[in-house]
């Protein structure tokens, strides 16, 4: 009798939750999906409600990978989609994704700041898409409704959080050594990125999209409005246009996940900031990063996608002339800082000797990094390539 009652109560609860899908665990699950240096991260609340940040590149490859993670998570619809900004490596996969799964709520920073669209016709297509459902223009200080999780908007449209989050508001000593950059050549939509902090009980994680170096100072100095996080998704794919010590050392993450590609991100400077960050235990990477070389890549155990040994050896012995740059086939973004020791010219498209591994990455199977976070602040990170898992205890 009691069992029947529990069953009925569970059934009623599941029905009442409406948008949420069944999910037995009580964890916030995060899927960092490999989009070869683009961005797509899926957050699944304990109730099964889903929030996706960005949709990777166009062409279907990244959409296949996103859908694989969505299916593994048991998610049937995207309850909230945050587009951090309008660059092709973030929104290029939207049109294809929307054909494959319902998307119920779109969140962005407002109109694009790019003079030219990177995805032709995107704004028109996007406005038609969000016009049929719910659309929110995020502002710092807003909270995005997400079952049991506080999702605080901390950056959007070039504005930053002015009122500290709980645990934030203290002076940030890492500001003393901050050196501003000339960002006049940075693609204008990067600093517009919607950035959010997720809080689930005592667990906190941050995702700032491609928010840039000088804006990090605005957000974090003189006072750290955010406080600390447990898990830091490296801003801007681990490119050294972002990821200053003023940001990272103040957040004091225990673990970093880098959504780099083989030829994008993993910049030496980014790695150095991470390795000197107080309390950082591990850096997990979505890819082996050629820019990081033998010195700065994490042990392969922590890397979800590797090139084969022969390719790695070949590239290390005959390095392509540029590393750590953006996704454009024609070369680095104007004003990009080349990795230490790297000459400034880009490799020719389809460079011989690196079959299937151009700057757009490979098309075969790819692995994601999964994080399961508990309300007590503990979390487990899993590399789905080798099933290596590591659990990080709650902070004392």
**Least CB distance to Zn ion at residue 264 (A):** 8
Instruction: Give yes or no for a contact between 29 and 44, defined as CB atoms under 8 angstroms apart.
Output: yes
Is 210 or 307 the residue whose CB approaches Zn ion more closely? 210
Is 49 or 210 the residue whose CB approaches Zn ion more closely? 210
**Least CB distance to Zn ion at residue 114 (A):** 13
Q: Residue holding tokens 């609340």?
A: 45
Centre a 10 Å sphere on the Cβ of residue 178 and count the other Cβ atoms it contains: 18
Return the closest-CA partner of residue 219 out of 278, 154, 166.
154
Is 325 or 382 the residue whose CB approaches Zn ion more closely? 325
**Least CB distance to Zn ion at residue 272 (A):** 21
CA–CA gap between residue 261 and residue 340 (Å, rounded): 18
Instruction: Give yes or no for a contact between 151 and 28, defined as CB atoms under 8 angstroms apart.
Output: no
Is 297 or 325 the residue whose CB approaches Zn ion more closely? 325
Q: Where do contacts with Zn ion occur on this chain (CB under 5 A)?
A: 89, 210
**Least CB distance to Zn ion at residue 332 (A):** 13
Is 62 or 89 the residue whose CB approaches Zn ion more closely? 89
Q: Residue holding tokens 């950082």?
A: 280
Instruction: Give yes or no for a contact between 134 and 187, defined as CB atoms under 8 angstroms apart.
Output: no
Instruction: Give the phi and the psi of residue 8 in degrees, each rounded to 5.
Output: -65, -40
**Least CB distance to Zn ion at residue 162 (A):** 26
Q: What is the 3-state secondary structure (H, E, C) of 335-389?
A: CCCCCCCCCCCCCCCCCCCCCCCCCCCCCCCCCCEEEEECCCCCEEEEECCCCEE
Centre a 10 Å sphere on the Cβ of residue 166 and count the other Cβ atoms it contains: 11
**Least CB distance to Zn ion at residue 89 (A):** 4
Is 36 or 210 the residue whose CB approaches Zn ion more closely? 210
């Amino acid at each position: 009798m009691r069992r029947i009652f529990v069953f009925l109560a569970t059934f009623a609860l599941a029905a009442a939750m409406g948008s949420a899908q069944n999910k037995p665990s009580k964890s916030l699950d995060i899927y960092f999906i490999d989009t070869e240096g683009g961005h797509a991260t899926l957050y699944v609340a304990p109730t099964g409600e889903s929030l996706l940040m960005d949709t990777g590149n166009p062409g279907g490859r990244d959409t296949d990978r996103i859908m694989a993670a969505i299916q593994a998570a048991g998610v049937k619809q995207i309850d909230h989609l945050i587009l951090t900004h309008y660059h092709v490596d973030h929104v290029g996969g939207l049109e294809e994704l929307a054909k494959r799964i319902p998307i119920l709520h779109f969140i962005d920073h407002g109109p694009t700041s790019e003079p030219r669209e990177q995805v032709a016709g995107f704004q028109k297509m996007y406005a038609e898409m969000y016009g049929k459902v719910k659309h929110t223009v995020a502002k710092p200080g807003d909270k995005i409704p997400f079952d049991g999780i506080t999702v605080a908007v901390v950056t959007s449209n070039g504005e930053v959080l002015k009122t500290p989050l709980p645990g934030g508001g203290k002076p940030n000593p890492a500001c003393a050594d901050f050196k501003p950059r000339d960002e006049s050549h940075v693609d204008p939509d990067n600093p517009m990125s919607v950035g959010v902090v997720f809080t689930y009980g005592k667990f906190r994680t941050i995702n700032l999209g491609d928010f840039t170096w000088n804006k990090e100072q605005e957000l974090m100095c003189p006072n750290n409005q955010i406080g600390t996080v447990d898990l830091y998704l490296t801003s801007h794919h681990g490119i050294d246009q972002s990821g200053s010590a003023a940001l990272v050392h103040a957040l004091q993450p225990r673990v970093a996940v880098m959504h780099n590609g083989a030829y994008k991100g993993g910049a030496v400077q980014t790695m150095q900031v991470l390795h000197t960050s107080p309390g950082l235990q591990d850096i997990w990477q979505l890819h082996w990063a050629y820019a990081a070389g033998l010195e700065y890549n994490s042990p392969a155990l922590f890397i979800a996608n590797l090139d084969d040994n022969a390719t790695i050896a070949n590239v290390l012995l005959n390095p392509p002339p540029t590393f750590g740059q953006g996704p454009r086939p024609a070369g680095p973004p104007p004003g990009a800082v080349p990795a230490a020791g790297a000459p400034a010219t880009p490799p020719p498209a389809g460079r011989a000797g690196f079959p299937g591994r151009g700057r757009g990455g490979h098309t075969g199977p790819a692995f994601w990094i999964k994080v399961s976070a508990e309300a007590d602040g503990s979390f487990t990170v899993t590399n789905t390539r080798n099933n290596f898992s590591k659990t990080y205890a709650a902070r004392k």
